[in-house]
Chain A
Amino acid sequence: MEDLSHLSFEQALAELQRTVAALEAGGGDLEADIAHYERGMALIRHCHHLLDRAELRVRLLMPTGEEVPLSPGGRGISEALPEEGAFDLDTDRDPF
């Protein structure tokens, strides 16, 4: 069985939709249909796996442009924040 780990959820989902459509259209020989079926099942397992394992990733964009990863789900934002006032932006410098 081909390794699916490189597929994103969206990619896997899109391929799954195509696979189901191909099976629904029918007309293929039985061997091809069974291959579609096995591929579809593998894609479903992969999607479930991605959902099971996923934890919301949150990164904090610093004024310097640096990105600071926070704990999953965005916990510990306050700890990640720099000194008070670091986000008091210089309003005289209009970015546009």
Chain B
Amino acid sequence: MAFVFTVAELAAYLSERLREDETLLDLSVVGEIGHLAQPNSGHVYFTLKDEGAVLQAVMWRSVVRYLGRLPAVGQTVMAHGRLEFYPPRGELRLITDDLRPEGGVGELYRRFEQTKARLQAEGLFDTARKRPLPPCPRRIGLITSPTGAAVHDFLRVLAERWPLADVLLVPSLVQGDQAPASLRAALAALYRREDIEVIVLARGGGSIEDLWAFNDEELARFIARSPVPVITAVGHETDFTIADFVADYRAPTPTAAAHAVVATDATTYRQQLTQTMIRLTELVRSHVTRGRLRMEQTEAALRRLSPRYRIEQQRQYVDELDRRLTHGWQQTFQRRRLLVNGLEQRLAALNPLAVLGRGYALVRDADGRVVRSVAQAVPGRRLNVHVADGWFRVVVSAEG
């Protein structure tokens, strides 16, 4: 049994099914503009067609604003958006959020490479041309869309990093056919001023077509003529535009530009100031210490010159002499005592009487002469015999 719908039910069912299909929510369609109308509402209604089919499409006023120029009937375009069922008219239509002349991305790349090669050959990208960024610029010129995310990202980060800066925001178109001229006019407004120290050219992420304005050759040449350093921050990290090549500094994103535009942020300055404070205190303390040391040295020198000091010195000298004298005497005394002891021992060893202890005897005649020969021992003669513990008298009885 087939389903029975009311028309409204079917419309709701169709809408539901369309929303479930991810392909239909994010698609690009290439076709020729069939007809196109822009009523007072500002919305643009058009059709896309080719040999076999027609598709209704609508572009809301908010999107139309960013489109440089409306396409002409008969022009082949690529429209991006989502497919929607519109019940009041029973139509499927493409809610378009982007519309590009179809010439294709390939054509864009070809032109990009040509422009790049030409400007490079002229030396506009030379590293030698790049100027250093001012360390902490006071006035910063910011060229960007006043309604995009880039301006908020940039200002939020800059307010944290360097709140002493003064930003002059120059609103500009940043996409579409009129964007290059708008960007140049904004640059010119800043070039005329004396107070701007650095210019930031920013735009948030987008497709290659969205960023195309920044590949404009005239814009590049104009950036090259800037009297102050120019920072570009276009799209995401991976996007490189001609403007990036010619700028003095290329920041990968608007947030990164807010980092690049001030080399040292407030937090770092605060730390440096605290360190400087410590350094100053140390320096002065060391100077005071050195001063005190000098004073003490001078005081000591002065004291050396005073009479009291000299008397004291003399007294000490006398004491010293006294000490040396006493010491010297003691040494001499000791040395002599040792000498005497030694001599005494040596003398004892040489004492001829010492042998008497071993049982020898010494014989002398009455006159005290030592008897060395039997010739002196005439019988009857009285002799004195000395032994260890004394002496006695003997009479020689006969010859031996």
**A interface residues (Cβ-Cβ under 8 A, vs B):** 8-10, 13, 16, 19-20, 23-24, 26, 30, 33-34, 36-37, 40-41, 44, 47-48, 50-51, 54-61, 65, 67, 70, 72-74, 77-78, 81, 84, 87-89, 91, 94-96
Contact = CB atoms under 8 A, between A and B. Distances in A.
Contacts of B284: 23, 33-34, 36-37
Interface string B286-315: 011001000000000000000000000000
Contacts of A23: 280, 283-284, 287
7 A-B pairs closest in CB distance:
A74-B155, A54-B163, A56-B159, A37-B284, A23-B283, A73-B159, A91-B181
28 contacts: A9-B164, A10-B138, A20-B276, A20-B283, A23-B284, A23-B287, A30-B288, A36-B284, A37-B283, A37-B284, A41-B277, A44-B273, A44-B276, A51-B270, A56-B163, A56-B167, A58-B155, A60-B169, A67-B168, A70-B169, A73-B156, A74-B159, A77-B151, A78-B146, A88-B173, A88-B178, A94-B181, A96-B188
B135 to A, nearest CB: 9
Contacts, number: 129
B370 interface: no
Binding site secondary structure of chain B? helix
Contacts of B162: 56
B65 A60 contact: no
A37 B280 contact: yes
Question: Which of A70, A78, A91 has the largest count of B CB atoms less than 10 A from its CB?
Answer: A91
Given A56-B155, A60-B146, A74 B167 contact: yes
B152 to A, nearest CB: 8
Interface in B204-243: 222
A51 B178 contact: no
Interface residues of B, number: 45
Contacts of B169: 58-61, 70, 74, 77
A54 to B, nearest CB: 4
Interface in B150-174: 151-152, 155-156, 158-159, 162-173
Contacts of B166: 57-59
Given A47-B273, A60-B169, A89 B188 contact: no
B35 interface: no
A56 B158 CA distance: 8
B138 A8 contact: yes
A77 B156 CA distance: 13
Interface string B266-279: 10011001001101
Contacts of A60: 146, 169, 171
Given A59-B166, A77-B152, 7 more contacts: A20-B280, A30-B291, A44-B276, A51-B164, A56-B159, A60-B169, A81-B146
B15 interface: no
Interface in B62-96: 65
A9 B167 contact: no
